[in-house]
């Protein structure tokens, strides 16, 4: 290893203010600095990004970070720039002029980290630059995407291996949070890693108690949990509308909660995310659009109200709990209907060849792409508008898009954020008149004039979230004011938008000529079925939950954790007579004080793993005539005699 310009720990302290690395981080960083190909298997929250951000700052040269997630790339670039570290991102939504500017900066040593979507590697212009840039190493984030039989295969990742010949002196760092043994083999093979050094953190989380519960009344149980487990919580559902409904349900019952999903305006998402990170909003009800790249240590509960499609997604999401190493809980509720729906959803993931041809043709019609034409840049893709235009349901469109992408026909990038822009078009006199007698308008106009240079000459990007904080108003109020000023002719307001990007790969084919590799398709179907069945086995198993997860990801840690619901059930002793008497008295007392109550409210008062004993106790009380039960409602027969 060459002499370092700066020691990794010095870099860590200087830029991030930390005094020490997390487990494995320093070993991974030193392996990269030694020029070794390196694979880092770090669970969510393990600090993967520092494993490439720190080493590139220790020496001259550039790190090229390959990532499929546009939003995460843009977020990391913003954070690095805030730390005065030169970084930029190139993806399918970047205009060619901006690409040239970024690459020119990289060529002349004005960048340290260049984030790049994998499809960029296929362009001749990018390959030309990769030959001449001073690249120290490539960091391949979400490396499991290169595995053709992995849960998130992306064909564009197969382009990465050609970087070996384009930059032969650069080593590789592959990073992932979830990789089965087969996926690990594919990572090493497809990236052509040379005698790689492997670093693998245990999937065990000793501070995390995993509970899986069959529960018909999920909402009431969620409410019980959130009252019982104090601190920041994440509630995951698989439906945007449900995030709004459940957050309102919790607010009406005195809990601070907000909804988060990809359909919200970017500024609103940012504001809600920041409120939750700061602890101002205790509960975030979200789809899986929430959580990527968020570093919050004190999450006490991650609660799933829907079954995830596989253990990969589930493990990544529960990994957001208890990063401060304090006690935390991951609770999954399901019904028998949920398991049936999961199987039905698997069937819907695989449209017929004729359906794929139809949707491919409609995409071409929608974007006016003629047969034989090659797209130069990606375009905004509003899935809802597409579905409305062609009278199709998202449940039919989305699986087809996924198959077309994995077959190398199109690329659908995640949502690309374009910030809002404001351009004042009113005269000074008109602005003074607008401010007269309106303190809110005056504060907004003056703040924008102070904050954004050139706002009278052209449309400048603004940060609604920061602007709203400066004015101490909600983002929604700020947006209302800007729209009002636009209607009054004072300014032009181009609102931020977040939409996926779509790109046809190569020349657009005639839809009738479109083919899909049947062997690949059948194997893909079998793979996703195995993933779905793995999730269902996890739900239904009576073995240690942590041991089950470790085994699924290829780690042979069979020792029971002692902390999950199954371990607690297996290790519990028989309840003695004195305790049963106390529980009996507690049941009678609750019914005496509150009157007739649902059985679930009685059960919530006692340990979750003692449900069989409590139900037996209730049955005995009913049998002896102390209680009456009508459906699920319990009541005292004669309170005066109790």
Among 206-210, 283-287, 518-522, which stretch is predicted with the lowest mean pLDDT? 518-522
| Phi and psi at residue 115, to the nearest 5° | -85, 140
The DSSP call for residue 350 is -
Strand 497-504 versus strand 379-380 pairing type = antiparallel
Cβ neighbours, 10 Å, residue 170 = 21
Cα 97 to Cα 152: distance, rounded to the nearest angstrom:
31
**For 168, phi and psi rounded to 5 degrees?**
-65, -20
Place of tokens 């028989």: 574
Which CATH superfamily includes the segment(s) 8-200? Answer: P-loop containing nucleotide triphosphate hydrolases (3.40.50.300)
Q: What is the pLDDT of residue 605?
A: 82
At 46 the pLDDT is 72
Record: fold of 577-641: Arc Repressor Mutant, subunit A (1.10.10)
146 contact partners, CB below 8 Å, separation of at least 6:
140, 153, 154, 157, 158, 160, 186, 187, 190, 191
Spatial neighbors of 304 by CB under 8 A, at least 6 apart, are: 236, 314, 317, 318, 330, 331, 332, 333
Q: Assess contact for 436 and 490: CB atoms under 8 A.
A: no
- 421-495 classified as CATH 1.10.287: no
Mean pLDDT of the chain: 89
In terms of average pLDDT, the best of 94-98, 99-103, 361-365, 638-642 is: 361-365
- How does strand 208-214 pair with strand 171-176? unpaired
Burial of 512: CB neighbours in 10 Å, binned 0-12, 13-18, 19+: exposed
Distances (CA, A) of 300 to 49, 230, 304, 330: 23, 7, 14, 9
Phi, psi of 548 (to 5 degrees): -60, -45
3-state helix, strand, coil in the chain (%, to 5): 50, 15, 35
Contact 561, 547 (CB under 8 A): yes
Please tell me the predicted confidence (pLDDT) of residue 640.
Answer: 54
What is the tens place of the pLDDT at every residue in 480-490? Answer: 999 999 999 99
DSSP string, 386-422: HHHHHT--HHHHHHHHHHHHHTTSEEEEEEEEE--EE
DSSP codes of every residue in 470-498: HHT--HHHHHHHHHHHHHTTSEEEE--EE
* Cα 434 from Cα 61, distance rounded (Å): 52
User: Measured in Å, how far apart are the chain's first and last C-alpha atoms?
Assistant: 80
Tens-place pLDDT, residues 157-185: 998 999 999 999 999 999 998 888 888 99
Token pair, residue 562, equals 């002692």
> What confidence category does residue 497 fall into, taking pLDDT thresholds of 50, 70 and 90?
low
DSSP state of 578: H
Q: What is the distance between the alpha carbons of residues 225 and 234, in angstroms, rounded to a whole number?
A: 12
Pick the residue with more confidence: 608 or 135? 135
| pLDDT at residue 154, as a whole number | 85
pLDDT, tens digit, 9 for 90 and up, residues 117-152: 898 888 888 999 999 999 999 999 999 999 876 677
Average pLDDT over residues 278-285: 95
Q: What's the pLDDT at 136?
A: 96
Average pLDDT of span 607-634: 86
Every domain of the chain and the residues it spans: 8-200, 208-334, 344-412+500-531, 421-495, 577-641
pLDDT in tens, 70-108: 778 877 888 898 899 999 998 766 767 778 889 999 999
550-602 per-position pLDDT tens digit: 999 888 888 999 999 999 888 777 888 888 899 999 998 989 888 898 888 88
> Alpha-carbon distance 106 to 125, whole Å?
14
Q: How many CB atoms lie within 10 A of CB 524?
A: 21
Fold of 208-334: Rossmann fold (3.40.50)
186-193 average pLDDT score:
94
Residue among 236, 212, 217, 211 at smallest CA distance from 328: 211
The residue assigned the tokens 């609750």 is 590
Q: Which of 148, 145, 84 is nearest to 119 (CA)?
A: 145
- Report the pLDDT value the prediction gives residue 624, as an integer from 0 to 100: 87
The whole-number pLDDT of residue 632 equals 82
| Pairing of the two strands 633-636 and 283-286 | unpaired
Q: What is the pLDDT of residues 464-482, one digit of tens each?
A: 877 888 899 988 889 999 9
List the 379-380 sheet strands across, edge first: 379-380, 497-504, 410-418
User: How big is the chain, counted in residues?
Assistant: 642
Strand partners, 87: 113
Pairing of strands 410-418, 497-504: antiparallel
Give the per-residue pLDDT at 631: 83
| pLDDT per position as a tens digit, 312-328 | 899 989 999 998 889 99
pTM, rounded to two decimals: 0.76
Running DSSP on this structure, what letter comes out for residue 374? Answer: B
From the CA atom positions of the chain, what is the Rg in Å? Answer: 28
């Amino acid at each position: 290893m060459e002499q370092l310009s700066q020691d990794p720990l010095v870099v860590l302290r200087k830029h991030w203010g930390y005094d020490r690395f997390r487990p494995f981080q320093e070993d991974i960083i030193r392996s990269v600095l030694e020029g070794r190909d390196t694979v880092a298997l770090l669970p969510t929250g393990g600090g993967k990004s520092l494993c490439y951000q720190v080493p590139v700052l220790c020496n001259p040269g550039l790190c090229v970070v390959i990532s499929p997630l546009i939003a995460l790339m843009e977020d990391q670039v913003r954070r690095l720039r805030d730390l005065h570290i030169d970084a930029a991102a190139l993806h399918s939504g970047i205009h060619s002029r901006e690409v040239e500017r970024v690459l020119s900066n990289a060529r002349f040593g004005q960048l340290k980290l260049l984030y790049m979507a994998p499809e960029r590697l296929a362009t001749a212009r990018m390959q030309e630059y990769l030959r001449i840039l001073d690249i120290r190493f490539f960091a391949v984030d979400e490396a499991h995407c290169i595995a053709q039989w992995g849960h998130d295969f992306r064909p564009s990742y197969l382009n990465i291996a050609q970087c070996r010949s384009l930059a032969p002196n650069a080593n590789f760092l592959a990073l992932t949070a979830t990789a089965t043994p087969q996926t690990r083999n594919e990572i090493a093979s497809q990236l052509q890693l040379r005698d790689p050094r492997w670093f693998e953190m245990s999937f065990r989380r000793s501070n995390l108690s995993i509970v899986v519960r069959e529960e018909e009344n999920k909402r009431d149980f969620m409410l019980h949990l959130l009252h019982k487990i104090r601190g920041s919580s994440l509630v995951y559902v698989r439906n945007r509308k449900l995030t709004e409904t459940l957050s309102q349900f919790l607010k009406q019952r005195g809990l601070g909660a907000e909804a988060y999903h990809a359909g919200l305006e970017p500024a609103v998402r940012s504001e809600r995310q920041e409120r939750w990170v700061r602890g101002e909003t205790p509960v975030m009800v979200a789809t899986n659009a929430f959580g990527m790249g968020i570093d919050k240590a004190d999450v006490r509960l991650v609660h799933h109200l829907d079954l995830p499609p596989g253990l990969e997604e589930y493990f990544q999401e529960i990994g957001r709990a208890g990063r401060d190493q304090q006690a935390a809980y991951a609770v999954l509720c399901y019904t028998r209907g949920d398991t049936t729906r999961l199987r039905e959803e698997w069937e819907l993931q695989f449209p017929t060849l004729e359906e794929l041809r139809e949707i491919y043709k409609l995409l071409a019609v929608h974007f006016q792409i003629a047969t034989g034409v090659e797209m130069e840049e990606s375009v905004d893709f509003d899935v809802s508008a597409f579905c409305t235009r062609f009278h199709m349901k998202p449940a039919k469109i989305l699986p087809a898009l996924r198959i077309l992408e994995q077959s190398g026909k199109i690329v659908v990038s995640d949502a690309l954020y374009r910030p809002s822009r404001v351009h004042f078009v009113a005269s000074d006199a008109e602005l003074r008149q607008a401010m007269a007698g309106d303190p809110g308008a005056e504060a907004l106009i003056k703040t924008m004039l102070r904050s954004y240079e050139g706002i009278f000459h052209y449309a400048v990007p603004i940060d609604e979230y920061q602007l709203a904080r400066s004015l101490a108003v909600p983002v929604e109020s700020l947006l209302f004011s800007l729209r009002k000023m636009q209607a009054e002719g004072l300014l032009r307001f181009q609102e931020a938008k977040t939409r996926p990007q779509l790109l046809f790969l190569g020349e657009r084919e005639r839809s009738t000529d479109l083919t899909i590799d049947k062997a690949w398709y059948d194997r893909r179907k079998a793979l996703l079925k195995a993933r779905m069945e793995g999730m269902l086995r996890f739900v239904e198993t009576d073995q240690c939950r942590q041991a089950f997860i470790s085994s699924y990801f290829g780690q042979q840690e069979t020792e029971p954790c002692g902390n999950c619901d199954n371990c607690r059930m297996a290790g519990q002793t028989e309840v003695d007579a004195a305790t049963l008497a106390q529980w009996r008295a507690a049941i009678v007392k609750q019914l005496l004080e509150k009157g007739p109550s649902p059985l679930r409210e009685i059960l919530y008062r006692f340990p979750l793993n003692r449900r069989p004993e409590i139900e037996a106790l209730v049955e005995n009380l009913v049998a002896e005539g102390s209680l009456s039960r009508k459906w699920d409602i319990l009541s005292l027969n004669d309170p005066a005699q109790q």
